Amino acid sequence: MNTHSRSRRALGIAVALALAVTVSACGGRDAGRSGDAAEGAPSPGITDTTVTLGITTPLSGPTAGPGTCTVAGVTAYFGAKNAAGGVEFGDGKTRTVEIQALDDTYDPQQAAANYDQLKGEVFAMTAGLGTPTNRAWREAAIADEVPQVLIMTGDPLFSDTQQSPWQLGFVPIYQNEGAAFGELLASSGAAHRVAILSQNDDFGAGYVQGFKSAIEGAGNIEVVGELTYEATDTSVDAQITELANSGADVFFNAMSVTPLVIAALQKAQQLGWTPSWFLPSNTSSPTAILEPGGAAAFPGIYSVSFAKAPQSPAFAQDPDVVEYLAALKQYGNYPDLPAFPHCQWSWMIGATLEQAFQNMKEPTRDSFMEALRAIKDFQAPLMLPDTAVTTSESGQPAVSTVVVQKYNGRGYDTVEAFG
């Protein structure tokens, strides 16, 4: 259905140490500013032979698994390109792409500090995971005129060109994912009682907003219970117990914290409550979440996706997947099958960045942003049918289309109907 709508801490630290080189101490506010440069003069972080990208993302802590993937995928993509000679830019130069990645532990203050450390050395910041962490240095990036692009947050703020002229999100906004679930359920034709548990911030509110908008006017859907939790909570047992008493047959679980999702699945089973589940794309990993959570006990686990899952037997021989997994191992320092989709997403980010590089007329951040915002219907490697990268749609991130999928015990199958 279309709509517009492990932990790997040791590896993460290793990747960070391998990539995070010491940068010079020119970290003043003006270090990243390109506005005073002569017109057409190269921006910081780009030479005739190299371009350097910065990433701040969690490489330790509860979100180290997805965060490590954000570095591994894009590092693998450009590692392969560099080995093949580099990327051809629109100004006629061929450059290798270097990446500097720092660990922010999903802490906004550390993310801002990382940005301050990197901004004078990098051409653009990209791929970093997290809404509060990306928000922490968004205004500084605007003031410094440093691109903060193709980042992994569904916060619509980053795709509003008026408020965020130097930003662009990559993954679908929360509302689009929530709406996809609502549309699927409303179109089932059968009566359903829905319980909702959401994170008490913009992440959770966005999912709920999209879901409720899609079921508005649908006479077959009744929301019978709705609670929230804090992202800093260590347990949601009380909320799951209360919602289990609602009698809901569908549970919309808008969570972003991996351990809490696993615990919620396990608690529901302890209570004998086994509804169908809707899970956000970033917390629906088959191996990292569903298997330890005992997801096979439920009649259906649904999520949304725009990327081919390497775990799925259907994609075992897919050329995109084969190439991606080989590069991830050789250049991304990631030898295992990815447990999180963020590895796939950041591989796609690499391909999208290459599209922009190829169309830059000058080695400047302005020219890069212009080229980036002109991408339309780009079928990035690993993209599922009926999804694409389009960067020019106002208020939307680079990827705004998703398909709904159902857990099949190993991976996911795309579905057209609920049930």
Please say whether the beta carbons of 184 and 221 come within 8 A.
Answer: no
**Residue 192's closest CA among 136, 131, 247, 268?**
247
Q: pLDDT tens, 14-67?
A: 333 334 333 333 333 344 454 445 677 999 999 999 999 999 999 998 888 899
Q: Which CATH architecture has domain 46-172+312-402?
A: 3-Layer(aba) Sandwich (3.40)
Give the strand pairing for 276-278 and 87-88. unpaired
Separation between Cα atoms, residue 389 and residue 373, nearest integer Å? 11
What is the Rg, in whole angstroms, of the alpha carbon atoms belonging to the chain? 21
Give the strand pairing for 192-199 and 94-103. unpaired
Separation between Cα atoms, residue 19 and residue 24, nearest integer Å? 15
For residue 386, give both structure tokens: 């009926």
Cα dist from 387 to 20, 213, 220, 252, whole Å: 33, 22, 29, 23
Domain boundaries, the chain: 46-172+312-402, 175-305
Q: What is the DSSP letter of 30?
A: G
**Residue 362's closest CA among 102, 76, 42?**
42
3-state DSSP helix/strand/coil % of the chain, to nearest 5: 40, 20, 40
Query: Among the CATH numbers 3.90.1640.30, 3.40.50.2300, 3.10.450.50, 3.40.50.300, which is that of 175-305?
Result: 3.40.50.2300
Please tell me the pTM assigned to this model.
Answer: 0.83
Ranges of the chain with pLDDT below 70: 1-38
For residue 165, give both structure tokens: 């002229």
Fold match between 46-172+312-402 and 175-305?
Answer: yes
pLDDT at 57: 97
